[in-house]
Structures are given as structure tokens and as C-alpha cells.
Amino acid sequence: QVQLVESGGGLVQPGGSLRLSCLASGSIFRINAMGWYRQAPGKQRELVATITNGGSTNYADSVKGRFTVSRDNTKNTVYLQMNSLKPEDTAVYLCNADLQSYGSILYRQYWGQGTQVTVSS
């Protein structure tokens, strides 16, 4: 059983900062990549940022220069530092991991429960 547990969401004013954390736990053999997606009301789910096991990152154009994704492989944790937040960043943020569990040769995507980020004055 693999679980992704998120924390750090909440309400913040425009221009403020917020740091999200996601801990992957359970029968994990290897995590290839972790990342963050978001989904706002009436919009499609979109990629925010991803990071590979080797530390390579990928960002959506809308968050480049403002968001930073990082990970601690010893803790199976991925972080998303969000700075200069805008109202359009308001969404449910979902943690994602591409991983292989013990006893399986397959890799699959796992998702967290989602955490609400609201940017409003």
C-alpha cells in the first residue's frame, strides 16, 4: 500500500508565499519522479512542476520564476515553494508520484488527496 499525504495548503494573500509538502509512504521500492498538478474550478488539471530522481525539474510556463519544486529522497518527500502568489494560482493542488512498489515490476502513478490553495485578499 502506497500513500501520498500532502500538507501546507491554505489561504494566502496575493504576493504571499506558501510551501506545500507531500510525503510518500508505504511499500515503496523506487520513486522515479514526483510532482505537483493543480485543478481549478471549470478548468482541466494541469501540470505545475515535476522533479525526477536525479533532480531535473519541469515547470508550467505560468509558474516559472515563482515556484520551486524540490525533493528529499531520504524522506520520500517532494516540496513546492510558491512565491509571488496570484489569485489565478487558486486551485486544488495534487501531489503525484511515479513509483515502483515492492513486489512489482511495474511503475504506476499515485496521487495524493489534494490540498486547497486559495490566493485572495
List the pLDDT tens digit at each of the 121 positions of the chain: 899 999 999 999 999 999 999 999 999 999 999 999 999 999 999 999 999 988 999 999 999 999 999 999 899 999 999 999 999 999 999 999 999 998 888 999 999 999 999 999 9
| pLDDT value for 105 | 87
The residue type of 68 is T
- Give first-to-last CA distance, the chain, whole Å: 40
Three-class secondary structure of residue 41 per DSSP: coil
CA dihedral of 85, 72, 35, 22, whole degrees rounded to 10: -70
Three-class secondary structure of residue 8 per DSSP: coil
C-alpha cell at 74: 531520504
Beta-bridged to residue 3, according to DSSP, are 25
